[in-house]
């Protein structure tokens, strides 16, 4: 009881410090030297991309709840999209399955692709292979991602990120903490488990904790998981589906608010390599 009180007191103190730093140090310093709108913009950038992500990571450590068995991790070290799909097969089978569904493989994130995405988003022009922001699982960013635009708009899309996991490793550690501690990526030609996090983008928003600009996502990730599995089943890209619990979830606030039952749909790809 005392420890919990001290933890909450520490979190409160951390919050007060962040407010003081952002408002009375960064903003007031910038406001004395720059036009008001520029000072506000600099303060926003400093708060959203530097101060708040670090404060939240520290808060998670204080609360000792930084357990991530069922969620991916953002570049700031915060909880990201829920893991909800797992497919077994080769990289070529995975690519073939989603190509047959009419999904496009996402471009790698870079300056050119990021600028292309910004232009497409502003002008609402098609960009079927738009890049994804990087989320982390098994100590690395996604290995591959696929998407399908909704109404041919870059602002709304079905999309899923995948991370490859050795089948030997998966079978030995599935359901245990060690399952999530693997950092090795299997060879591209190996038959592996593709652990995926599928969500549906529905527009533009700010993240709940750091107020960074990002795609708004539909909170019901169960529905997106079911949509992806239904498409794969309808096109006979997978066999029977099994359902597993992903494990203990995070009890602190998430970057985005999601409704998830914590279940992962697991299936074997049956499409031929192409």
Domain count, the chain: 2
- Residue range 133-152: average pLDDT? 88
Residues 34 and 102 in one domain: no
- Residue 161, pLDDT score: 95
Domain final position from 22, 44, 63: 63
pLDDT of amino acid 204 = 57
Q: Where is pLDDT greater, at 51 or 217?
A: 51
Asked which of 43, 63, 83 is the last residue of a domain, the reply is 63
Do 263 and 160 share a structural domain? yes
**One domain for residues 217 and 163:** yes
Tell me: do 59 and 116 sit in the same domain.
Answer: no
Point out the least confidently predicted range of 129-138, 174-183, 259-268: 174-183
**Mean pLDDT over residues 252-258, rounded?**
44
Task: Classify residue 274: in a domain, yes or no.
Answer: no
pLDDT for 175 equals: 52
Asked whether residue 94 is assigned to any structural domain, the reply reads yes
Mean pLDDT of 190-218: 71
H, E, C per residue of the chain: CHHHHHHHHHHHHHHHHHHHHHHHHHHHHHHHHCCHHHHHHHHHHHHHHHHHHHHHHHHHHHHCCCCCCCEEECCCCCEEEECCEEEEECHHHHHHHHHHCCCEECCCCCHHHHHHHHHHHHHCCCCCCCCCCCCEECCEECCEEEEEEECCEEEEEEEEEEEEEEHHHHHHHCCCHHHHCCCCCCCCCCCEEEEEEEEEEEEEEECCCCCCEEEEECCEHHHHHHHHHHHHHHCCCECCCEEEECCCCCCCCCCCCCECCCEEEEEEECCCCC
**Are both 8 and 125 inside the same structural domain?**
no
With 0-12 CB in 10 A as exposed, 13-18 as middle and 19+ as buried, what is 229?
A: buried
* 227 half-sphere exposure, CB direction, 13 A CA radius: 17
Residues 57 and 75 in one domain: no
- Residues 98 and 225 grouped into a single domain: yes
Q: What is the pLDDT of residues 205-232, one digit of tens each?
A: 545 554 445 556 777 888 999 999 999 9
Same domain for 157 and 198? yes
Q: State what percent of residues in the chain have pLDDT above 90.
A: 22
The better pLDDT of the pair 105, 55 is held by: 105
- Is pLDDT at 173 greater than 70 in this prediction? no
Does residue 247 surpass a pLDDT of 50? no
Which of residues 34 and 55 earns the better pLDDT score?
34
**Mean pLDDT of the 224-250 span:** 80
The answer as to whether 273 is a domain residue is: no
State mean pLDDT over 153-163.
88
197 has pLDDT over 70: yes
Same domain, 117 and 33: no
- Weakest-pLDDT range from 62-76, 137-151, 220-234: 62-76
Residue 143: predicted pLDDT: 95
Task: Using the predicted structure, report yes or no on whether residue 77 has a pLDDT greater than 90.
Answer: no
Q: What's the predicted TM-score (pTM) here?
A: 0.68
Candidates 96, 217, 182, 71; CA nearest to 146 is 96
Choosing from 44, 63, 82, the residue where a domain stops is 63
The pLDDT of residue 225: 92
Average pLDDT over residues 220-248: 84
- Which strands make up the sheet holding 140-141, listed edge to edge? 79-82, 71-73, 136-137, 140-141
User: Minimal CA–CA distance to 260: which of 210, 226, 211?
Assistant: 226
Q: Are residues 78 and 174 in the same domain?
A: yes
Q: Are strands 144-150 and 104-105 parallel, antiparallel or unpaired?
A: antiparallel
The burial class, CB within 10 Å (0-12 / 13-18 / 19+), for 220 is: middle
Name the one residue in this structure whose structure tokens are 């933890």: 7
Q: Kindly state whether residue 186 falls inside one of the protein's structural domains.
A: yes
pLDDT at 118 over 60: yes
Domain match, 42 and 132 both: no
Does residue 121 share a domain with residue 15? no
Can you give the residue range of the structural domain that contains 38?
A: 2-63
């Amino acid at each position: 009881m005392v420890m919990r009180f001290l933890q909450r007191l520490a979190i409160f103190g951390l919050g007060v410090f962040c407010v003081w730093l952002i408002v009375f140090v960064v903003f007031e310093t910038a406001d004395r030297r720059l036009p008001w709108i520029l000072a506000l913009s600099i303060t926003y950038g400093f708060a959203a991309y530097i101060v708040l992500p670090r404060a939240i990571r520290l808060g998670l450590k204080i609360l000792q709840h930084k357990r991530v068995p069922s969620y991916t991790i953002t570049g700031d070290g915060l909880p990201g999209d829920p893991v909800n799909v797992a497919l077994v097969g080769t990289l070529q089978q995975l690519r073939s399955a989603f190509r047959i569904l009419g999904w496009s493989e996402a471009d790698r994130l870079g300056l050119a692709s990021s600028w292309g995405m910004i232009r497409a988003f502003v002008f609402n022009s098609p960009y079927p292979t738009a890049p994804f922001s990087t989320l982390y699982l098994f100590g690395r960013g996604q290995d591959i991602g696929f998407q399908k635009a909704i109404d041919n708009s870059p602002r709304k899309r079905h999309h899923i990120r995948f991370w490859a996991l050795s089948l030997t490793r998966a079978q030995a550690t599935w359901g245990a903490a060690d399952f999530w501690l693997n950092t090795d990526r299997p060879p591209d030609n190996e038959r592996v488990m593709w652990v995926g996090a599928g969500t549906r983008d529905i527009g533009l928003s700010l993240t709940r904790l750091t107020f960074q600009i990002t795609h708004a996502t539909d909170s019901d990730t169960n529905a997106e998981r079911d949509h992806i599995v239904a498409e794969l089943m309808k096109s006979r890209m997978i066999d029977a589906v099994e359902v597993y619990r992903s494990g203990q979830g995070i009890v602190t606030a998430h970057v985005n608010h999601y409704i998830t039952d914590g279940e992962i749909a697991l299936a074997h790809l049956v499409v031929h390599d192409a």
